Structure 1
Amino acid sequence: MEWYLKVVKNYVGFTGRARRKEYWMFVLFHVIIYTVLAIVENLIGIPSVLSGLYSLAVLLPSLGVIVRRLHDTGRTGWWILISLIPVIGTIVLLVFLCLDSTEDNQYGVNPKNGAGASI
């Protein structure tokens, strides 16, 4: 949960780097929260109001952590636009998000080396 809150607090941080752990823990908690909200909506019989508002609320943090994750692999944040290409673009972006960190690059020092890895 610490990783999720770290991303949400840094909601407009598009600079720096994000480790794989930070990104995937954010995704895990995002999916859990969204699923719980969807189940609650189905149980009380309302349309997707809660899950829609939640998705809107975490839009900027999600984009920020993806851009920082791309920076960690040595790519510019503009690579996020490759996901606009149907199927292939999404697969390529997923591969980029799964890649290991590069050594120190123009976006900062490697967070695995201790700098920036405060959690």
Structure 2
Amino acid sequence: MSFAEAVRTCLVRKYATFSGRAQRAEYWWFSVLYALGTLLLVGLSVAVGEPLLNALLPLLIVPMLAVSVRRLHDTGRSGWRMLIALIPVAGPVIYLVGMAVDSTPRANWYDPSPKAVA
């Protein structure tokens, strides 16, 4: 999945879809967009003196949460597992490792494997 395809999937086709599965490329490319957008707006906010980040977060927080839940589903875990990131120090590390794990190769509780379908 390319960067443009991942962004199109997350922002247009599956904006608030919390069911189904998302491959690693979809999650990580959208995370790159989210991080770059955040850095750009933080930089502009410092330069202009206005809190511009408030414009980005409401637009991207829902698709970021949705793609995260779908990514966890792809690894065979519940979307509620995302809350593990709230544990200080170790939580974010465990969360990121879970997002980097390969998909379950067969159908799981959430849907058939996107790799098998593609």
What percent identity do the matched residue pairs reach?
40
Displacement after TM superposition at 1:69 (Å): 0.3
Q: Distance in 1 between matches of 2:94 and 2:82?
A: 10
3-state SS, counterpart of residue 13 of structure 1: coil
TM-score normalised by length of structure 2: 0.87
Moved over 6 A (4+): none
Is 2:10 aligned against 1:15?
A: no
Q: Which residue of 2 aligns with 1:95?
A: 97
RMSD: 1.3
Give a deviation string over 1:16-66, Cα, whole Å, max 9, x none.
0000000000011111122222222222222x2x21220122111111111
Q: Which residue of 2 aligns with 1:27?
A: 31
Q: Which residue of 2 aligns with 1:4?
A: 7
Q: 1:105 aligns with which of 84, 93, 108?
A: 108
Q: Distance in 2 between matches of 1:85 and 1:39?
A: 29
Instruction: Indicate the larger mover: 66-75 or 54-63.
Output: 54-63
Q: Match for 1:61: what amino acid?
A: P
Q: Distance in 2 between matches of 1:90 and 1:41?
A: 26
Consecutive unaligned residues in structure 2, runs of 5 or more: none
3-state SS, counterpart of residue 18 of structure 2: coil
3-state SS, counterpart of residue 109 of structure 2: coil
Displacement after TM superposition at 1:6 (Å): 1.1
Aligned length: 113
3-state SS, counterpart of residue 97 of structure 1: helix
Alignment of 1:68-87 (within 5 A): 68-87=70-89
Consecutive unaligned residues in structure 1, runs of 5 or more: none
